Structure 1
């Protein structure tokens, strides 16, 4: 690509940051705040610039996102940029050093919930769409910008609505604007999750009759799960991380005088190509069978799977990872491909057969915690990298 995009990117920064400040000042905590105000800011900005956009709704009619579409004038694949504009909750607001909806800039940091994850990326992607719109006729395929407001719930309603919309061109790949400099996330472990219900006879805690209650049985099951041997598959099939099992919730009982007849446990298994969802379920059911054999109860333990996403990993020469890595190198940045331990929206896309990168952005602190903030000095370089990557994909 012959043109130097760093200088135009620098000229865009005041507008990118200004729009991000407006978004941060509209609270959009997942499951808490109304998303209308934060999307309204984006809609006004897009309308002023005559950029085509529309709201996305889920099957129940709930607002789950905003979609911007810039069709090219030549045949080709569509590509998507994705950033969420809903956020994690604030947590203990008294522990913050500044208001969570601040939006102020202090010592080069943009302050407030969503500054890192991912309102700054959302405004950056909207500006890139605006940059490309005047030259759209010369581009192949098209660019979609997905602004999801159902991401931090874990439901990814915006992405689901986008992928199931019959009027939308299915993307050949997606670049997700999670923050973090120095790495392009090209993969992530998958997951298999289940709720396990452990039963036992109830009774009085002071009874002279010995009863193995549900809490005792459930605690034994947790020990079985914690000591279960998972294969060390790190490095196999080109995947650098091993699987992992965690018991993440334990609910049952009330008060002191009754041994409960039921305890519910949540189990989260992070999967890999060498240890998939079927393997995870087999391991958990084996532990459950061992529990029921060692500490029998009138009713067998129940396993109810609730979610399964596949792991994913793109090769460095696979799009859109190749375009993003190449653009970063062209900007003089040393960026390495990374496979993330936590799952992300890239796993959902992988389940749909859509390759995705899931992170390259500005340095940050406090993501999902207190004092969330994003460093702005690197923003022009990040902007130019994404713009180079998009142009590389759309110029054919």
Structure 2
């Protein structure tokens, strides 16, 4: 049987900062191979990816996750080595303990128990593991999903092991994520001496008018499963260090986290219409990030939610909060839910997970497998 804590410690001891793997996926291949999985290495560019499947028929449940982690920051600030997998005070410390090596270990441990108890279960279990979630997300999950579709491995449902709980196990599962659109807004003027403003054209007040118009506009009041769309100015750059010179241009950056009332095209058109009401003297360049997605509440979300309730006694909220994840790619192929550990310490110094929470998540994943395959 596979022990979640031992596997999580071994994974943490692989310093797999994006896009390096440092043996993490080889460790998973060996472990999964021993459980009867057929493992396929899928390198794209400088990114290692792993697809492992046990069974060939349906129904097909896939677990998606990533072995790459963010940098540790100031290693001297850590109480324990970030890649030591130290257990202390009932907690497992290390980069990736919560995001998301602990989650991967919990699912594999749950699968090991399920397979041991139900060796002839119907259907297929698979894992899609990438090394590119914390990075550009170009040569990871999106490429593996394309390969899976071409080779007859598209799952019926998917669970992504992102740490989904704010404070306690059973708080939340995630059924969607907001979209992300960034932009650079530039206003041009004419450089000149501040003592002769009539000979210049100051772009700074113009830029301020555009930003006020954007910030004051209520884009929407939210939707059934999402909060209101939020536009936040993130940078203003004049590029001028002289006190007596009117600058030639002024630039601002902003980001919009949007709900399912918008797509990229409609939101970009809306932003241009707001700016056009102020005036025509601007240039804007959009950068499309993550698209918005939602897995409508139904059989799959209900199954995962009930599994959490069965183990924790709590009914988790179905949330769409937070940043982006690879679930946005999976959502284009099948219903997907994010369910994992507590996210309170992810990307921080002394990232850790309570061992009892790791055990709870293993039990939750085991219950998901039972409810899905033994019904």
Both structures adopt the same fold (TM-score exceeding 0.5):
yes
User: Which of 226, 231, 241 does residue 220 from structure 2 map onto?
Assistant: 231
| Cα displacement (A) at 1:377 | 1.1
Distance in 2, matches of 1:268 and 1:64, equals: 31
Aligned position for 2:363: 384
Distance in 1, matches of 2:195 and 2:26, equals: 62
| Cα displacement (A) at 1:226 | 1.8
| Cα displacement (A) at 1:53 | 1.1
| Cα displacement (A) at 1:279 | 4.1
Task: Flag structure 1 segments of 5+ consecutive residues without an equivalent.
Answer: 1-10
Aligned position for 1:114: 96
Change (3 A) 1:221 1:104: same
Change (3 A) 1:307 1:110: same
Task: Flag structure 2 segments of 5+ consecutive residues without an equivalent.
Answer: none
Change (3 A) 1:108 1:142: same
The answer to whether the 8 Å contact 1:192/1:281 transfers is no
Distance in 2, matches of 1:184 and 1:156, equals: 28
Q: Deviations over 1:51-84 (max 9, x none)?
A: 32122233xx332421111115xx4221111222
Aligned position for 2:182: 194
Distance in 2, matches of 1:227 and 1:97, equals: 45
Change (3 A) 1:264 1:64: farther
Distance in 2, matches of 1:368 and 1:82, equals: 19
TM-score, normalised via structure 2 length = 0.85
Distance in 2, matches of 1:49 and 1:76, equals: 19
Which segment is superposed worse, 99-108 or 272-281? Answer: 272-281
Distance in 1, matches of 2:254 and 2:118, equals: 48
User: Which of 115, 121, 124 does residue 142 from structure 1 map onto?
Assistant: 124
| Cα displacement (A) at 1:215 | 5.3
The answer to whether the 8 Å contact 1:239/1:313 transfers is no
Aligned length in residues: 366
| Cα displacement (A) at 1:390 | 1.9
Aligned position for 1:326: 306
TM-score, normalised via structure 1 length = 0.81
Distance in 2, matches of 1:47 and 1:207, equals: 76
What SS does structure 2 have at the residue aligned with 1:138? coil
Say whether 1:155 aligns with 2:137: yes
Distance in 2, matches of 1:207 and 1:349, equals: 59
Q: Deviations over 1:330-349 (max 9, x none)?
A: 33521323213224333333
